[in-house]
Amino acid sequence: MKTSTCGVQVLHYFETCRLTAYPDPGSKDGKPWTIGWGHTGPDVYPGLIWTREQADAAFVADLGRFERDVMQLVKVPVNQGHFDALVTCATLACLCASLKAIWLIASAKQGATKSAGR
Protein backbone atom coordinates (compact mmCIF):
# COMPACT_ATOMS: atom_id res chain seq x y z
CA MET A 1 0.00 0.00 0.00
CA LYS A 2 1.17 3.53 -0.72
CA THR A 3 0.31 6.84 0.91
CA SER A 4 -2.41 8.66 -1.01
CA THR A 5 -2.12 12.15 -2.47
CA CYS A 6 -4.24 13.37 0.45
CA GLY A 7 -1.84 11.72 2.91
CA VAL A 8 1.13 13.43 1.25
CA GLN A 9 -0.70 16.76 1.43
CA VAL A 10 -1.24 16.28 5.17
CA LEU A 11 2.46 15.56 5.65
CA HIS A 12 3.43 18.64 3.66
CA TYR A 13 1.00 20.72 5.73
CA PHE A 14 2.71 19.71 8.97
CA GLU A 15 6.31 19.65 7.72
CA THR A 16 7.54 22.71 5.83
CA CYS A 17 10.27 22.19 3.25
CA ARG A 18 13.45 23.88 4.45
CA LEU A 19 16.43 23.78 2.12
CA THR A 20 19.06 24.70 4.72
CA ALA A 21 19.82 22.24 7.52
CA TYR A 22 18.55 23.30 10.93
CA PRO A 23 18.87 21.91 14.47
CA ASP A 24 15.96 20.16 16.12
CA PRO A 25 14.23 22.92 18.09
CA GLY A 26 12.85 20.43 20.61
CA SER A 27 16.17 18.96 21.72
CA LYS A 28 18.72 20.31 24.17
CA ASP A 29 21.70 19.74 21.87
CA GLY A 30 20.02 20.53 18.52
CA LYS A 31 20.30 16.94 17.30
CA PRO A 32 19.20 15.54 14.99
CA TRP A 33 19.84 18.08 12.28
CA THR A 34 16.99 18.25 9.77
CA ILE A 35 16.59 19.35 6.15
CA GLY A 36 14.00 19.23 3.38
CA TRP A 37 10.64 17.77 4.36
CA GLY A 38 11.87 16.65 7.79
CA HIS A 39 14.73 14.44 6.63
CA THR A 40 17.26 13.49 9.31
CA GLY A 41 20.25 11.18 9.35
CA PRO A 42 24.03 11.04 9.25
CA ASP A 43 23.97 12.80 5.87
CA VAL A 44 22.52 15.98 7.46
CA TYR A 45 24.92 18.39 9.11
CA PRO A 46 25.20 22.11 9.94
CA GLY A 47 25.58 24.25 6.83
CA LEU A 48 24.09 21.67 4.42
CA ILE A 49 22.02 23.20 1.62
CA TRP A 50 19.75 21.24 -0.74
CA THR A 51 17.78 22.01 -3.86
CA ARG A 52 14.02 21.46 -3.88
CA GLU A 53 14.63 18.42 -6.08
CA GLN A 54 16.94 16.88 -3.45
CA ALA A 55 14.37 17.57 -0.73
CA ASP A 56 11.58 15.99 -2.77
CA ALA A 57 13.70 12.91 -3.57
CA ALA A 58 14.59 12.42 0.10
CA PHE A 59 10.91 12.81 1.04
CA VAL A 60 9.93 10.03 -1.38
CA ALA A 61 12.68 7.75 -0.03
CA ASP A 62 11.81 8.49 3.62
CA LEU A 63 8.10 8.01 2.95
CA GLY A 64 8.78 4.61 1.39
CA ARG A 65 10.68 3.55 4.50
CA PHE A 66 7.80 4.58 6.77
CA GLU A 67 5.27 2.86 4.50
CA ARG A 68 7.27 -0.38 4.75
CA ASP A 69 7.52 -0.03 8.54
CA VAL A 70 3.76 0.43 8.87
CA MET A 71 3.04 -2.52 6.57
CA GLN A 72 5.32 -4.75 8.66
CA LEU A 73 3.72 -3.69 11.94
CA VAL A 74 0.05 -3.76 10.95
CA LYS A 75 -1.29 -7.29 10.78
CA VAL A 76 -4.97 -6.51 10.14
CA PRO A 77 -6.64 -5.05 7.04
CA VAL A 78 -6.74 -1.26 6.92
CA ASN A 79 -8.35 1.13 4.48
CA GLN A 80 -6.52 3.99 2.77
CA GLY A 81 -7.45 6.47 5.50
CA HIS A 82 -6.11 4.18 8.22
CA PHE A 83 -2.91 3.61 6.31
CA ASP A 84 -2.38 7.33 5.63
CA ALA A 85 -2.97 8.13 9.31
CA LEU A 86 -0.49 5.49 10.47
CA VAL A 87 2.19 6.59 7.99
CA THR A 88 1.62 10.24 8.93
CA CYS A 89 2.02 9.37 12.61
CA ALA A 90 5.21 7.41 11.94
CA THR A 91 6.61 10.13 9.67
CA LEU A 92 5.91 12.95 12.08
CA ALA A 93 8.40 11.52 14.59
CA CYS A 94 6.29 8.88 16.33
CA LEU A 95 8.72 6.07 17.06
CA CYS A 96 7.77 2.81 15.38
CA ALA A 97 7.96 1.04 18.75
CA SER A 98 5.31 3.42 20.05
CA LEU A 99 3.27 2.95 16.91
CA LYS A 100 3.44 -0.83 17.39
CA ALA A 101 2.26 -0.54 21.00
CA ILE A 102 -0.59 1.78 20.05
CA TRP A 103 -1.67 -0.49 17.21
CA LEU A 104 -1.59 -3.63 19.36
CA ILE A 105 -3.73 -1.97 22.01
CA ALA A 106 -6.23 -0.68 19.44
CA SER A 107 -6.39 -4.05 17.69
CA ALA A 108 -6.95 -5.82 20.99
CA LYS A 109 -9.98 -3.65 21.65
CA GLN A 110 -11.67 -4.99 18.46
CA GLY A 111 -13.57 -2.28 16.74
CA ALA A 112 -11.11 0.48 17.56
CA THR A 113 -9.93 0.41 13.94
CA LYS A 114 -13.42 1.06 12.60
CA SER A 115 -13.32 4.76 13.47
CA ALA A 116 -9.59 5.36 12.93
CA GLY A 117 -8.61 7.30 9.84
CA ARG A 118 -12.02 8.87 9.20
- Is 15 among the residues known to form the active site? yes
Choosing from 7, 8, 15, 83, the catalytic residue is 15
Contact 11, 88 (CB under 8 A): yes
46-75: b or e for each residue (b if 16 or more CB lie within 10 Å)? eebebeeeebeebbeebbeebbebbeebbe
| List of E strands, the chain | 18-22, 34-36, 39-40
What's the first-to-final CA gap in the chain, in angstroms?
18
Q: Which residues are marked as active site?
A: 15
